[in-house]
Structure 1
């Protein structure tokens, strides 16, 4: 009853202010009045303002949300704080189109929702995470979170949540070309939303039905639903979805060779997307206009629009957008029989996809590791959730094993198909690699399986100290196995020269901070302190994914060979037209004999770390190759017992 009463209170508060708050700036007088209210009422009021202003005054809505977060954190209102993190995440994802920033707020809200046992909020966070990963192209993670969200909503009989889940599951079914299954999900969502009169949700479901019918080739039926979607979104003045509906109508006219009508709708959609500062919608509209121009003999205009779309895609920093443009340009030039330009754009598409695939692999494993650590902490705090936590641990272990096996298959395929010539020339290197795969990987699997069984026994017996110890061992083994396979796979690709630079302009200081945060937990476990001296932003023009691999390997080595209670200094220094990045530790150091063998591709022996961490010895060779691909240099200075400093240089943007 208390939970229902709380939700009812929040809903009444929101609706009481909705007519005067939606799309309006809050006056200074109202803000002053707010300060006189109790802290909890301030949080609830700001939360309502944040959500109600999300469509027309997004920036102000974010400010209200951040102000409420600051109060809730100071006062310890964990339940309200979890909801606010979710709200702000939605604002960044859906209204500012900063998906990664949205995910960061969902990640802050999820552990709080789990801690206060708010099942509804947990389900909504899972739902939002699934939608976010779908938008950035990580379909496996999107599917996992969509399933988790639906399971919780169905158990709670939460009709609005179930309807959201139907939409997500429909989109995922459609991307796997299961069109009839997708249509069933969308129609179920409409039927359910009609029971609680959700006109906005019904309109969006109509749009998804139209998109699915178009993919099935049923253009007339698709046009019917696109028109219904446009009418309903015009009524609620949702410009983004009006634009999406007009894009769909343009696609239908394009298929019917009614080019004038198609162009009008694409151009109208472009105008709406620019008003809402929606980069993805703007790009989709431009690609539709380019297709029309290619079919009407206006090649130069079409080429200009495609170039503008590519600029917009790069500004959006969303790799799926860049992929769409390269593919569209390839098709455009192929249609014009300019095969050289077509081939060049398809090659760019393949290179970009390869870069995205590597990033998504790392993202997926990082997400699994983060969720595992979160579950381990909650085991210690909430022993009454042991059954649920046990299921989560089993699921995580299964996913880890499946991902590791898939990486092994990828490694095997690439080794056989791309590296066969060089492997035949170097039997010694081949035998060494096979020895590592057969021994260390099997050992890691055995350690994971054995330790997970012990973890289950500890949980059944209520031995939380043993569970904590075994959980940390599983975490450490998983990290070592991932880095081992990642370095081995990347090394194999580099030997066949299949890695290509995909340069973009970005802040190197921000990347260094992001990579450092990946190792914060590991540093805390070894009681090692990071000291960062990065200064203001340093813009470089480089391949962000390859430099991330370099920094990950250097930081991992520093942690590996630094004793507990040690320090690691990370710094960025400007030198004329170059930037110097340094990773310095006060660990065990390197002998002169071993220093002479560093950065060599055929030296793959690796010493255990101060915490008995394992490695392959391939990491430093990869660092050298990737830095030199950028026109930079990498160096080392070390003395036994005094620590080591690795640094590399890059040209400035």
Structure 2
């Protein structure tokens, strides 16, 4: 089995384990978690290892094995602390609190329940907020503070009722579809019964027997055809709903993974820059140390700026879709303008950039899209090109399109990396040759924007040799003026 398939299987098993545990099949749930954990340990993906440990703790907790559950939860917490995985605490703290509650350690139960409430509120995870309030109500009751217990219980009930209303609305939609189908089916059956009754009545009329039989057959055919049409329409709608639900689940998984990466990569550089500025303000750092640390801190802030720009573009496309305003634009001028912003960054690595796109190269494209595409692709080339490397921009005109090429002699990519390059599901935090940070989101945005302008984007790369990114855009349109 290929590595990508093993990865998908590991994610799937971990999700299925939770469902099996809820059904009480703990043995099968344990088997699935252990199989997925074995893969994550081999790949050393610490965030997913932490999640697997949390799942094992949850399975033990459901069986009231509090000490065993606490052991797995603590291992998960240790990994979250190690990689600063804040999102992982949302389920973890509530589980630890329940373990301490089961072990009659009320003070620790309260401590972790309060931490769980705080982190769940920060990330706006309603289910975890609800569970934390329930645990805190039990803790308050154990401490004899019934007023506080009642307060937490009230909050729990509000969230519980809100969740039930949402479930009811979803269920009501499905029920309405089912009732509509049943009513249509009933109406068609009734029509068929009427047709059969007419057939029996007309059968007694010997003189018109042939005509009556023909009319009945036509009526039955039309009824069956109509019933088949209704059934097919309902099936299509059901399939569309199922597909949409799968897309939404996948979109949520992608969003959670991207936010996990971004939160992890933002915290370190910002804290470092804040610390440097504080030491400078307090005059507790020498000028020599400041001169040594400031360029690195500035480079990290530049990386954060690029990451946030891509995140804002991605968020806008997710909420409003990609808006397109195509016009005849000069690709050479856009590339030149983009290079004015990026050449200072390239100069720090002594990288030379040649813009060999001919002047007056006109494309019928969205100007803002071309600017974002070129900026991301050239930034990536700078990021993965070694000191004193070279980047070349070229253009080839083919039929009714322009093929833009950005070539570098940097680190290159393996075939497996290339196959996942434009997939949001596999977006990962990557580092350039000078430890420049990124999320992998920029290439996905470029692909969407190239395709929205009627082009295609692809990559050709050899590891340790270099990479060429290709994309196409339409040529200029000729407008005629009426005389």
TM-score by length of structure 2 reads 0.45
TM-score by length of structure 1 reads 0.34
**Greater relative CO, 1 or 2 (CA 8 Å, sep 6+):** 2
